């Protein structure tokens, strides 16, 4: 298991910057640098701790995953660089966040009124 963990750590370390910042693309004299938020999660398990019940059935397991959310791009035109957000991605994240924050705030206010 230690070798797999080291391989995963090496892979994540190498792809961290390229996940956040893509390759620069040149279009009609405009340079575009895509920006994203990336995250990875991994888990593992094992069984057989030495008890009689554990010795009869061994166990192990593991899994992982990752995601990347494009949040915008740095655009360079005529020597000026400006960040242009991806509004669809921001709305996809923002609307549920505002809803949850509103529900939590309503519960806090209701609890303080009692």
Taking 80 as the threshold, does the pLDDT of residue 3 lie above it? no
Q: How many structural domains are present in the chain?
A: 1
pLDDT value at residue 13: 63
Whether residue 106 lies inside any domain: the answer is no
Which pLDDT tens digit goes with each residue over 13-58? 666 566 677 788 899 889 999 888 877 787 777 766 666 555 666 6
Residue with token string 């910042």: 21
DSSP secondary structure letters along the chain = -HHHHHHHHHHHHHHHHHHHB---EEETTEEEEEEEEEEEEEEEEE---SSHHHHHS--EEEEEEEEEEEEEEEEEETTEEEEEE-HHHHHHHHHHHHHHHHHHHHHHHHHHH-
Is 108 inside a domain boundary? no
pLDDT at 19: 65
Residue 111 maps to a domain: no
pLDDT tens digits, one per residue of 79-102? 899 999 988 888 887 888 899 999
Compute the mean pLDDT over every residue in the chain, rounded to the nearest whole number: 80
Q: Report if residue 92 sits inside a domain.
A: no
Q: 95 lies in a domain? A: no
Q: Is 71 a member of any domain?
A: yes
* Domain coverage including residue 52: 1-84
Whose structure tokens read 């791009």?
Answer: 73
Question: By C-alpha distance, which of 18, 10, 12, 9 is closest to 66?
Answer: 12
Residue 91 within any structural domain of the chain: no
User: pTM here?
Assistant: 0.53
Kindly state whether residue 100 falls inside one of the protein's structural domains.
no
């Amino acid at each position: 298991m230690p070798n797999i963990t080291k391989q995963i750590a090496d892979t994540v370390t190498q792809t961290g910057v390229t996940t956040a910042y893509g390759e620069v693309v040149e279009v009609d004299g405009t340079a575009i640098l895509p920006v994203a938020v990336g995250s990875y999660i991994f888990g593992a398990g094992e069984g057989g701790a030495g008890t009689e019940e554990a010795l009869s059935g061994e166990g192990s397991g593991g899994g992982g995953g990752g995601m990347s959310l494009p949040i915008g791009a740095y655009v360079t035109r005529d020597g000026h660089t400006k960040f242009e957000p991806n509004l669809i991605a921001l709305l996809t994240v923002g609307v549920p966040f505002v809803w949850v924050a509103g529900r939590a705030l309503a519960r806090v206010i209701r609890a303080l009124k009692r």
